[in-house]
Chains A and B, each alone.
Chain A
Amino acid sequence: SAVISQKPSRDICQRGTSLTIQCQVDSQVTMMFWYRQQPGQSLTLIATANQGSEATYESGFVIDKFPISRPNLTFSTLTVSNMSPEDSSIYLCSVAFYREETQYFGPGTRLLVL
């Protein structure tokens, strides 16, 4: 497994602003993913963060709203842009190692948009 950290752990933001969430892993990983978990709901994949290239977004998620960076094998950011109350959720990153399907999750970032 790996030690995965996320910053911030929680935040309260005003509508119309943007928040960047960081995900840091203590070892090099092949895959990094970003998920959203709305209150009491399951995990929905937002995108796969690709190292050195544009992220791969799932249906219903677009780059303008959720820009993602992955400059190296241990770090990724997710930005939630032009926030509205509907963006209030937990955002989680997950990682997977080379040739392993198992995903390990970060502790999550709790976002409340007022």
Chain B
Amino acid sequence: GENVEQHPSTLSVQEGDSAVIKCTYSDSASNYFPWYKQELGKRPQLIIDIRSNVGEKKDQRIAVTLNKTAKHFSLHITETQPEDSAVYFCAASGYNTDKLIFGTGTRLQVFP
């Protein structure tokens, strides 16, 4: 079955710097890759997603890139702010399935 690896597990950056989180997946048939942000004590919230027919997607300070050949995708946050501090999860869903398999999470801390 699908397996999703996520790195790093923790990431500390200075406010204004960029942050990059990387994920790799095992199932070459996976075609949907969402990213969720989970603040302490809150539910996971979708922040951006990408489908396998697209290589990059941007939404203001957030971007996701997908390399299907290498089976990895990355989240890029530019001009980080303290409110970006949270745990971020990547996920992948396989072809013809509605299930999401989640990565292990990255705890991002942005210091003012």
Contact = CB atoms under 8 A, between A and B. Distances in A.
Interface of A: 31, 33, 41-45, 48, 59, 92, 96, 101-108
A7 B72 CA distance: 37
Contacts of B99: 33, 45, 48
A48 B98 contact: yes
Interface of B: 1, 32, 34, 36, 42-46, 49, 89, 93, 98-105
Given A101-B93, A102-B34, A102-B49, A43 B98 contact: no
Most A-side CB within 10 Å, residue of B44, B46, B101? B44
A37 to B, nearest CB: 9
Nearest to A58: B99
B111 to A, nearest CB: 21
